[in-house]
Amino acid sequence: MNSLPGWSTKIDEISNGVFNVVLTDQFGRKAEVTDNATNETIKKAINDAFEIERQISKNWNKFLYDLCLLNISHEQVILAEYDDQSFGSWVLELANKRIVLDGKDFELILQTKADQGWNDIIKIEKFNLTYLKISELIEAVTKKHNK
């Protein structure tokens, strides 16, 4: 997971093994990190941009929907539904797993399909949501060996 909707990423190697990662949104806001580990440096910059987006987003639920959809697009998405009328609730469903955002209670939930419906596996409340946690949630929903 290395993309945020509405943010562009620029990576420059400024000296041998030292990278500058800059994420910029459409309004020119920037999250920038310079470090020597490419993947970790990118994750730090994306995390900073995620926190900026959390603070300034006019539609946080839609941003989270777009973020998850962007980062699981390589999977077979059966249902992708965003509902602004229901407090910005949404669902992204794959064959046997789905991510649901309950916009009213603001819980982001990973569910697995069972004989009797859907079972909650992970629940993250609004105030505990971080870029790392949403990354782990997306990784869990896209893992092929977990059924």
Confidence grade of residue 67 (pLDDT, cut at 50, 70, 90): very high
Pairwise CA distance, residues 34 & 41, whole Å = 7
Domain encompassing residue 41 = 7-56
pTM of the model: 0.87
How deeply is 24 buried, as exposed, middle or buried, from its count of CB atoms within 10 A (0-12, 13-18, 19+)? middle
Element spanning 89, H or E: strand 89-93
CA dihedral over 60, 121, 117, 74, signed as positive or negative:
positive
What's the number of domains the chain is made of? Answer: 2
Q: Are residues 77 and 30 in the same domain?
A: no
Q: Are residues 44 and 114 in the same domain?
A: no
Position 111 in a domain: yes
* 147 has pLDDT over 60: no
Average pLDDT, stretch 48-62? 94
Q: For 78-129, how does the pLDDT look when each residue is reduced to its tens digit (9 = 90+)?
A: 999 999 899 999 999 998 999 999 999 989 999 999 999 999 999 999 888 9
Pairwise CA distance, residues 65 & 11, whole Å = 25
Confidence grade of residue 1 (pLDDT, cut at 50, 70, 90): low
Q: Are residues 48 and 74 in the same domain?
A: no
* 11 has pLDDT over 80: yes
Position 28 in a domain: yes
